[in-house]
Each structure stands twice: as structure tokens, then as C-alpha cells.
Amino acid sequence: MRQFDLSPLYRNTVGFDRLFSMLDQFGGVETASAYPPYNIERTGENAYRISIAVAGFTDKDLSIEVKENSLAVRGDKQASEERKSDVLHQGIASRAFERRFQLADGVQVTGAGLENGLLHIDLVREIPEAKKPKLIPISTTGAQTIEAKRAA
């Protein structure tokens, strides 16, 4: 299995620490099913995309559910009654699956789309106004002004 270095993601993101720690844990020991394969990419300062390979599935076969800080993607391919030919080799998996992701606080799913066999789920981390950085003006008139403001 190929190892991915997630340390750049640790340095550049806030709030996804728990998600990346879990990915690190699963990266060393394959305890969960590797089906279907997926990518997690950063598309902006506070924007992310999860892409899941779901070849052979339609939008009706897939469901996405967000509950608290958990994202669940399920696929259950419905058997087609109108098969026109006998399949001699089936290499494209169509088994049911469930893939779960832990989301950091403030991460919201903004949309999903199915394109060329990939399910793209877009996420954004919304930082509350109280947690956003703010500039504090520095007084240059001296300590007397600060003391006068405290007394007022």
C-alpha cells in the first residue's frame, strides 16, 4: 500500500487534525475495506473535496448523509432486470458499500456531483466570526493613554 505524507495538511489546516490523524492510523494498517477508493483534496483555504470512485453506480444508487460531525456515503446498486447479454468477466465492482468520514467542527457539505464515474463531495470550513482573527490597534501615545482608558 502506498503511504501518503499528510504533514503538509497538518501545517496548513485548522480543524481537520482529527480527520488527518484517523487517515494516518488507517494508512499504516488496512483495517477497513479499501472499496471504493477515494481522494481528499484541498481546493481552497477553507474548501475541500472528497472524490470517490463509483464506476457503474448512478445517482439513484448512491446516498450521502451528514449527521453531527460524520459524513456517510452509501452505494447500493440495484440489479438490472433488462440485461441484454451474458457477462463473461465482471471486473467492475458493483457491490454495496458504506464509506464514513469524520468532519472537523464547522465543516459543512456544500454540494455533491457525479461525473465520469467519480462522486465529488464539496466541503467548506466556516469559521464563526468570534473565532476569526482580528487586528488589534496599537496605541503609540504611551502608557498614560492606556491607563486613562482603563479608568474610563
Instruction: Please report the pLDDT score of residue 91 as a whole number.
Output: 79
Share of the chain above pLDDT 90, in %: 30
Q: What residues have CB less than 8 Å from 22, skipping those under 6 apart?
A: 102
C-alpha of 78 from chain center: 27
Task: Give the pLDDT confidence of 32-54 residue by residue, as tens digits.
Answer: 568 899 999 989 888 999 999 99
Query: pLDDT grade, residue 127 (50/70/90)?
Result: confident
Give the integer Cα–Cα distance in Å for 133 and 67. 28
Share of the chain above pLDDT 70, in %: 67
Query: pLDDT grade, residue 62 (50/70/90)?
Result: very high
Instruction: Please report the pLDDT score of residue 144 as a whole number.
Output: 57
Query: pLDDT grade, residue 141 (50/70/90)?
Result: confident
Instruction: Please report the pLDDT score of residue 49 as a whole number.
Output: 93
Length of the chain: 152
- In the predicted model, what is the mean pLDDT of residues 100-125? 92
Residue 130 DSSP code: G
Instruction: Please report the pLDDT score of residue 52 as a whole number.
Output: 94
Instruction: Please report the pLDDT score of residue 29 as a whole number.
Output: 46
- Sorted by where each starts, the structural domains of the chain and their CATH numbers stand as 7-151 (2.60.40.790)
- The C-alpha cell at 91 is 471486473
More confident residue, 21 or 112: 112
Average pLDDT score, the chain: 78
